[in-house]
Structure 1
Amino acid sequence: MKMKMSFVVLATLCMATLAWGFGEAGCGAGSCRDCHRLDMDEAKSLLGGFGEGIGAIEEAEVPGLWLVEVQKQGKIFPVFVDFSKQYLITGDVMRLEDRQNVTRKAYFERNPVDIGRIPLKDALLLGKQDAKTKVIVFTDPECPYCKKLHAELNKVVAERPDIAFLIKLFPLKMHPNAYPKSKSIVCSKSLQMLEDSFAGKPVPTLPCEAPEVDETIRLAGELGISSTPTMILPDGHLRPGFRTAEKIIELLDGKP
């Protein structure tokens, strides 16, 4: 089940002042669960053809929607069912306030990766080798958001010597020069060369194969990583996109 189509859901369901009105004890006086239910049997009946099983059911952060876990091929896919039980959303739900992809966040929370599958011999170390907490980062040397995140990673290691980052080069096809740059950086195993690329300085093309880059591209597809930057936390949870140093530290310290 691939989540390719994008939907922006603007829902204002279960409000206290709907046109037909509810009394003080009606829907809107408390939780939407007071008026709406979706049990396991109903979910199986509605979504039986969409996967191999149904997991948890919970009220989504989007008003008027249930988040239902659909199990397929060893993965858990979050889908959304509206309270009328007539509509299904299998694509991306975006939160407009901060442009966060609610669907992807729910997917990554439910499908941590096995970090033991990720080879790290080619990874660039940012921070101390003996740091207690190590975070894997998939980055692209021509990605503007990777450049922004890298600056924040430097702030993190300056403030917290117990945190380090293992950087894997993952060139995206949309950046045509990222692939040869990644090969050269991996061949040299040079963090400085990566930072030169982020600074807009030339990166020399080196006569080496660096098959690790191709392996990273293949592995990223298997792990469901399709964008950069993407951080992989020590517990295997993926966190794509840019974050400030403060937010990264809060995330690693387990703060909400």
Structure 2
Amino acid sequence: MKIKNLSLGFLLFAFLVFTGYGSECEVEKDSVKKLQNKIGPMLGGGKVLEINKSPVEGLFEVIIEVGDRMIPIYVDCDMKYLISGEIIDIEGKRSLTKEKAMELAKNMAEKKAKQLEKILGQERAGKLFEILGPRITSIKLVDVKDIPGNTVRYGNKNAKYTIYVVSDPDCPYCRKFHKEMKEVLKKAKDVKFEIILFPLAFHKDAKKKAITVLCEKDPKKRTELLDKSMKGSIPVKKCEEGEKTVKDNLKFGELNGIRGTPAIIFPKGIVISGYMKSDKVLEILNALK
């Protein structure tokens, strides 16, 4: 194994260990809460899940959840220094950090499998695993009763199956998926799409576009307006209902860990984030029927 570069995190780690900094770490009852308060703002919405003794004296191993992943990082016993890097067993030529990350990923996959089997049954959950592979760990679950109601509908309103799409009119991958969505509607007549407008903060015009679309009462004109907004600028309007809907949509995303677009909510509240082709959408939908 070749180590080409020593990261800043590794240098700090070396400083702490080889200068004898700190003593054996003892995990206290409020350690997780205390550390979350200290480093939470640095994690970009991440969450401290647990704190354990690390393989190295003087350090805690901290498991954090960021997005759809669980990651090991390290802090000193006094929780003054955070170390983002690898602990490498020199004699064994093993990255203990990578091994831990793989263990966490495996545990996450097994946990998701049990959740999906409970909701879908073993057969349908198995089909979903075959289709998604490693992507299965990124699945989220939402209660369909909590999904916001003021959406933009595409397809037959009486269709048997509904797929919700959390979308931003200025998101490049949302625009790509918007085209794939229409391909799905050409191939399947038993499904409709409901678009949950979710303008991301760094798209400066997205919120104005979303509110404008939601101010339109006529369903057909609303879809036409969203189509136009996906291609470029549209005349801006304001209304109380549109502003409230956008606020509610963003709150829904926050409560359910949806931070990016597109996010596709299939029947049974199965959420899969990211762009996908129309054939993949149909394959997943058929597995869930």
Q: TM-score range by the shorter chain?
A: 0.5 to 0.7
- Say if 2:89 is the partner of 1:89: no
Q: 1:123 to 1:79 in 2, by over 3 A?
A: same
Whether the 8 Å contact between 2:261 and 2:273 is mirrored in structure 1 is: yes
Higher helix share: 2
Q: CA deviation at 1:174?
A: 1.4
User: Which residue does the alignment assign to 2:235?
Assistant: 204
Q: Residue type of the partner of 1:204?
A: P
Q: CA deviation at 1:253?
A: 0.6
- Separation in 2, partners of 1:51, 1:204: 46
Give TM-score scaled by structure 1 length: 0.60
Q: CA deviation at 1:78?
A: 5.7
Give TM-score scaled by structure 2 length: 0.54
Q: Residue type of the partner of 1:242?
A: Y
- Say if 2:213 is the partner of 1:185: yes
Q: 1:138 to 1:233 in 2, by over 3 A?
A: same
Q: Which deviates more from structure 2 when the two are superposed, residues 246-255 or residues 141-150? A: 246-255
Q: Residue type of the partner of 2:146?
A: R
| Helix, strand or coil at the partner of 2:158 | coil
User: Which residue does the alignment assign to 1:155?
Assistant: 183
Q: Residue type of the partner of 1:198?
A: M
- Separation in 2, partners of 1:131, 1:146: 23
Deviation string, structure 1 residues 196-254 (Cα, Å, up to 9, x no partner): 01122x31111312211111011101111111111111111111111111111011011
Q: What are structure 1's unaligned runs of at least 5 residues? A: 1-48, 53-69, 93-99
Q: What are structure 2's unaligned runs of at least 5 residues? A: 1-31, 33-47, 51-62, 73-87, 89-93, 106-131
Give the fraction of aligned pairs with identical amino acids, expressed as a percent: 29
For residue 144 of structure 1, the aligned residue among 149, 154, 172 is 172
User: Which residue does the alignment assign to 1:169?
Assistant: 197
Q: CA deviation at 1:191?
A: 0.9
User: Which residue does the alignment assign to 1:195?
Assistant: 227
- Separation in 1, partners of 2:177, 2:138: 22
Q: List structure 1 runs of 4+ shifted beyond 6 angstroms.
A: none
User: Which residue does the alignment assign to 1:237?
Assistant: 270
- Separation in 2, partners of 1:116, 1:174: 29
| Helix, strand or coil at the partner of 1:253 | helix
For residue 161 of structure 2, the aligned residue among 127, 133, 145 is 133
Q: CA deviation at 1:118?
A: 1.1
Q: 1:148 to 1:78 in 2, by over 3 A?
A: closer
- Separation in 2, partners of 1:101, 1:188: 40
- Separation in 1, partners of 2:138, 2:193: 23
- Separation in 1, partners of 2:238, 2:70: 47
- Separation in 1, partners of 2:246, 2:155: 22
Deviation string, structure 1 residues 41-63 (Cα, Å, up to 9, x no partner): xxxxxxxx7747xxxxxxxxxxx
Deviation string, structure 1 residues 38-87 (Cα, Å, up to 9, x no partner): xxxxxxxxxxx7747xxxxxxxxxxxxxxxxx9x9xxxx764789x7932
Q: CA deviation at 1:154?
A: 0.6
For residue 214 of structure 1, the aligned residue among 247, 260, 268 is 247
| Helix, strand or coil at the partner of 2:267 | coil
| Helix, strand or coil at the partner of 1:138 | strand
Q: Count how many residue pairs are aligned between Structure 1 and Structure 2.
A: 177
| Helix, strand or coil at the partner of 1:137 | strand
- Separation in 2, partners of 1:196, 1:78: 36
Whether the 8 Å contact between 2:167 and 2:196 is mirrored in structure 1 is: yes
- Separation in 1, partners of 2:256, 2:148: 13
User: Which residue does the alignment assign to 1:118?
Assistant: 147
Max radius of gyration: which structure? 2
- Say if 2:281 is the partner of 1:252: no
- Separation in 2, partners of 1:184, 1:106: 36
| Helix, strand or coil at the partner of 2:179 | helix
Whether the 8 Å contact between 2:196 and 2:249 is mirrored in structure 1 is: yes
- Separation in 2, partners of 1:207, 1:230: 26
- Separation in 2, partners of 1:141, 1:107: 23
